[in-house]
Amino acid sequence: MQRTEHHASFGGRQEVWQHASTSTGTDMKVGVYLPPAALKGEQCPVLYWLSGLTCTEQNFITKAGAQQFAAEHNLILVAPDTSPRGEGVANDDAYDLGQGAGFYLNATQAPWAPHFRMEDYVVQELPALIEQHFPASAARGIFGHSMGGHGALTLALRHPGKYKSVSAFSPIVAPSQVPWGQKALKAYRGDDPAAWKQHDTVALIAGATERLPLLVDQGDADEFLAEHLRPELLQAACDKAGHPLTLRMQPGYDHSYYFIASFMADHLAHHARALRPER
């Protein structure tokens, strides 16, 4: 791993690292915030952030205002890029497919399959690297926004025991039922709707073997709410399955990082209660 950026922040340090990924077969960039306790060598829990469509590792670390609260709770924050990138990596002219739009799954279809293996990267490869190179404990949480909210929820549901906490901002909760998700799932996973449901939070809730409490914030002025996000489907699925969900509709908020930053403190506190129960 090669460090490409470092900045003092709230008594800790915001860094950016680059490394060759065995999962994607490309170089990947990842933001890592080390809180004050980690700089002193104390093992700290790790909270993984998954960003939305078109984002890189930079959006979260520069716009979310999360470092202040990660320092307060002594949580390491890890924010990877949203997809593989580079020469020879398949792409599409649209913003919602290809580079910048990995959807946090392993693609099985050409031309995406060789590099678009973001599920393996986020769930297996990246935690192993973080726990090898930083003072990170094995306690992990995961959260994200939009496409990244979809990723956080589905990866937590698909890998019980991997994470101790999960939350999301304006997630795509039913990708097999909405245009963003249908386009990506068909391209990456093929024409079989059964394969799509393996990466659909609403479909996965019914068979969940672990009942991690879900915290979801959604702005009611979000321009993507009715067509692409559909939080009412998540509420109905959780009600039917008895899965713990706190869904908060936030009046006047849109899909932007202004919304995310406004409720970041609540999400960090939610994760800290699970990741640092001794505090």
Tens of pLDDT along 147-162? Answer: 999 999 999 999 999 9
Summarize the confidence of residues 261-279 as an average pLDDT: 93
Summarize the confidence of residues 48-66 as an average pLDDT: 98
Tens of pLDDT along 180-238? Answer: 999 999 999 999 999 999 999 999 999 999 999 999 999 999 999 999 999 999 999 99
pLDDT of residue 5: 97
This prediction has a pTM of: 0.97
- Is a pLDDT exceeding 90 seen at residue 277? no
Tens of pLDDT along 109-146? Answer: 999 999 999 999 999 999 999 999 999 999 999 999 99
Question: What residues are labeled active site?
Answer: 146, 222, 255
- Is a pLDDT exceeding 90 seen at residue 60? yes
Domains, the chain, ordered by start = 2-275 (3.40.50.1820)
Summarize the confidence of residues 168-186 as an average pLDDT: 97
pLDDT of residue 127: 98
pLDDT tier for residue 278 given thresholds of 50, 70 and 90? confident
- Proportion of the chain above pLDDT 90, given as a percent: 99
pLDDT of residue 279: 63
DSSP letter string over the chain?
-EEEEEEEETTEEEEEEEEE-TTTSSEEEEEEEE-HHHHTT--EEEEEEE--TT--HHHHHHHS--HHHHHHHT-EEEEE-SS--STTS---SSTTSBTTB-TTSB--STTTTTT-BHHHIIIIIHHHHHHHHSSEEEEEEEEEETHHHHHHHHHHHHSTTS-SEEEEES----GGGSHHHHHHHHHHH-S-HHHHHTT-HHHHHTT-SS-PPEEEEEETT-TTIIIII-HHHHHHHHHHHT--EEEEEETT--SSHHHHHHTHHHHHHHHHHHH-TT-
